Each structure stands twice: as C-alpha cells, then as structure tokens.
Structure 1
Amino acid sequence: MSAEELLIIDPLELRFPFELRKPISCSFELLNKTDSHAAFKVKTTNPRKYTVRPNSGVVPPRSRCNVTVTMQPQSEAPLDMQCKDKFLIQCVSTHPGVTPKDISQETFNKEVGKNVQECKLKVVYVSPPRPPSPVPEEPEEVHSPRASRTEMVNQDENSAPRDQIVKLMEVRDAIIQQNGKLRRELEYLRRGGSQKRAGVPLLYVLLIGLIGILMGYLFRKS
C-alpha cells in the first residue's frame, strides 16, 4: 500500500459461509490513518443481491468504520461454488464538516487535481462449518446365555461349600449341647444318683468319647 492511500481496507475479499435460503452477512473495515477526512462509497455489480450498511459515509482522521454486507437468501448454489460478483470502494479526501448526506456520486468524479482512490473486493463462497459430531455412547455390555449359565454354575459351586459349613456348624452346636447334657447326667450319677442308672456311666463315657471324635472331625472339615 502506498503512502497516499486514504483508507486501508481489511480484508480484501468478502467471504460468505454459503447456505441456501438464508441471509448471510460478512464485513470489512475501513481504516483512516491520515490526518484528513475521507469520504467513501461502496458499489457492487449485483445491487439486487446485496445490502450494504453503510454504503457511504465519512471516516474521520485516525479512526475506522465497519461496513456490513448482507447477501439475500439464495435458492440454489452456484456452479463449483464460484461467484463473479465484485465490490468497488471509492474514497476521496474531503473537508471537515461533511456529513454522509452531503456525499453523492459527483463527490467521486475524477477531475483534474482530485485524487479518487478505488479498491475492488471479490466475493468468495465458503462451506459453513460442520456441527460437532455427538459423543458416541458406550455400548452396553451384552452377556451371552452361555456366559450366564457359567456364572450360575460358578455361583452354585461357590455356595455349596458354604452350605456344608453351615450344616456342620449346626450339627456341631447340637453335639455340644448334647455333650453338656450328658456331662450333667454323668456328674449326677457320680454323686450317687438313682440306683436304676448304676450301669449307665460306662455307656455315657463311650458316648462322650464318640462325640469328641466326631467334633474333632467336624472342626477339621470346617
């Protein structure tokens, strides 16, 4: 860019995220880095297709102006997404106090001693950004019938020893209770109990011995 330029235009192309049947807008900026007032006007080769706001105005010294271009809804996409539309920005130095209402086409007539600067902008269609894909849900674990039967068998195998232990503990408790009863009977006989039970102590002794052997066996099993 030369030092004589009144306005710096950014960007130098209009990029529209093209979508059918929707109005689409983009913008560019006019930057005045000089100490002069700069009048501007925006033209297009297809005025029915676009709306420009503002389409003319004055940019004060050391300031900027934002211009928005809106494309009307389109019913069909152009071939290969190529667009031949053009925009022309004209600017000229003007004196302080000029308002947008004072600007006309004659303001930009090329006369002797009048420096009218022009800049062309091209139109580019771009594909709109795709929405982010949803996060896939984790598939639920599917258990096959064979796996279920295997788990049931394993549960039965694990529960069988527990059932046996519970039964053995019940038998053990019953034997302990019976053993206590027999010991009390034996003690009673030793103290001179009934004569009818005189021949019984030997039988009780044998029973107590057998119970002790059975209890030892059950404890080892558990």
Structure 2
Amino acid sequence: MSKLDQVLQIEPSVELVFRGPFNEVVTADLKLTNPSDKRVCFKVKTTAPKRYCVRPNSGVIESKGAVTVAVMLQPFDYDPNEKNKHKFMVQTMFAPDGKIENQEQLWKDVLPEQLMDSKLKCVLDPTGNSAPTVGNVDSQKRQDEEIRRLKEQINALKEENSNIKAEEVRLRKVAMSDTVSSTPPPSQRVEVPTQASALPPYVYLIVVLILGILIGKIIL
C-alpha cells in the first residue's frame, strides 16, 4: 500500500472512458502533470495488458512538466452483458538526483513506502456519446448567451416596429380628425354672398331725376 499521497495531477482522475464503436482502435488520453519541484518517475499499469496498449507506459516528468499518455483499446467484439472490470494504475516515485541509467532497475530497488499510486476505472461507452468537458460546457454557455442576446434584440426590434405602426395609425387618426373638425357641416356653412346683379336702367333714370331736382332746389 502506498505510504505517500500522489504527487502528480492526473486527468481524468477517476475514470478512463473509451467510446465505441469497438471494431477499431479506440484511444483515451491520460494527462500527467508534475506540480512539484522534483522530477517524478511514472509507470502506467493495467489489469488487462493484452487488451490495451499504453504509450508511453513509463518515463520521467520534469518539475512543472506534463506528459500525455495515450491508452489504446484494441478492437474486440463488444458484449453489453459482459461486465467490464478493467482498471488502470498510475504508479509514481520521486526520481533520484542526477542521470537515471536504468529505470527498470530503479523500480525494482524502490522501497514500497516510497511509491505513490492512483487507480482509475475503465469505462466502455458503446454509444460514442462524448461527455461534456469544461471547454465544451463553456462554449455551450457562450452560445446560449449569444442566442439569448439575439432573441432579446429581435423582440426589442419587434416591439419598436409595433410602436412605430401604432404611432403611424394614431397620427393618421389625428390628421383625419383635424380635417373633419375644420370642415363645418352643411347646416353651419356660411354662404359667401355673390356680387349683386346689375340694377335695371329705369332705376338709374329715377335716381338721376331725383338728383336733378335736389340740385335745382339748391341752386334756386
């Protein structure tokens, strides 16, 4: 049993998922990150070595460095009734100072209390559905936010268009009301008098005679 806590950051840390179909090689990546100030030796083991190919299956990770391990599941006939009990173990130890001449011998000579290990379950997903990663979730959130913003803009434009149409109808009604109110009904219309027709000639003769008589009295 390991006496030390695992120094490496392992991603994924619980399950290594392989997504079907399984009629061809399926690869799952295992990222190992060394946050410590020392070099770390690692080794990846599996309970089904004939079913999986691991590259690299061992090595040294420098301080603040990282390694991506490709775990390849070989093609096989998938049986949904068969329980999958395959497991992986990432075993590590701090590397000695100086150049490492023989890693295999180093692993043989290491004391059990110097070892650190982490275990992962193997999960087979025949549907091939991708689990949402942090990046995918963030991207989906941005897309949802953009869609929501566009919908709000569309709704605002629709509302503005409705307001413009309502204002246009109101202005038309006001214009029609002003026109009707400025035109009096037939009963209230003021008839503009037309020019008086010319007087008959005898009227002028009578006026002339009257004027003549008046002028004659004034002279006498």
TM-score (norm 1): 0.51
Distance 1:21 1:84 in 2: 20
- The residue that corresponds to 1:124 in the other structure is 123
Report the Cα offset of residue 72 of structure 1. Answer: 0.3
Matching residue's letter, 1:85: H
**Where do 5+ consecutive residues of structure 1 fail to align?**
131-222
Structure 2 residue corresponding to 1:52, chosen from 51, 54, 71: 54
Matching residue's letter, 1:76: Y
Report the Cα offset of residue 77 of structure 1. Answer: 2.5
Distance 1:105 1:44 in 2: 20
Counterpart mapping for 1:145-156 below 5 A: none
In the alignment, structure 1 residue 89 sits paired with structure 2 residue 90:
yes
**Alignment length (residue pairs):** 125
Report the Cα offset of residue 5 of structure 1. Answer: 3.4
Q: Determine if contact 2:26/2:74 at 8 Å carries over to the other structure.
A: yes
Residues 153-210 of structure 1 deviation map (CA, whole Å, 9 limit, x = unaligned): xxxxxxxxxxxxxxxxxxxxxxxxxxxxxxxxxxxxxxxxxxxxxxxxxxxxxxxxxx
Distance 1:19 1:108 in 2: 39
Report the Cα offset of residue 96 of structure 1. Answer: 4.1
- The residue that corresponds to 1:24 in the other structure is 26
CA spacing shift, 1:102–1:109, aligned 2, 3 Å: closer
Distance 1:25 1:91 in 2: 23
Q: Determine if contact 1:20/1:77 at 8 Å carries over to the other structure.
A: no
Q: Determine if contact 2:34/2:61 at 8 Å carries over to the other structure.
A: yes
Report the Cα offset of residue 83 of structure 1. Answer: 1.4
Distance 2:42 2:21 in 1: 30
Counterpart mapping for 1:1-222 below 5 A: 5-12=6-13, 13-79=15-81, 82-99=83-100, 102-104=102-104, 106-107=106-107, 111=111, 114-126=113-125, 127-129=127-129
Q: Determine if contact 1:92/1:108 at 8 Å carries over to the other structure.
A: no
Q: Determine if contact 2:6/2:117 at 8 Å carries over to the other structure.
A: no
Q: Determine if contact 2:30/2:69 at 8 Å carries over to the other structure.
A: yes
| Identity level (%) | 31
Distance 2:108 2:115 in 1: 6
Matching residue's letter, 1:25: T
**CA RMSD after TM alignment:** 2.4
The SS at the match of 1:83 is coil
Residues 42-74 of structure 1 deviation map (CA, whole Å, 9 limit, x = unaligned): 111110000000000000001111101000001
TM-score (norm 2): 0.51
Q: Determine if contact 1:6/1:33 at 8 Å carries over to the other structure.
A: yes
Distance 1:122 1:105 in 2: 28
**Where do 5+ consecutive residues of structure 2 fail to align?**
131-220
CA spacing shift, 1:119–1:60, aligned 2, 3 Å: same
Question: Greater relative contact order (Cα 8 A, min sep 6): structure 1 or 2?
Answer: 2
The SS at the match of 1:104 is helix
Q: Determine if contact 1:90/1:108 at 8 Å carries over to the other structure.
A: no
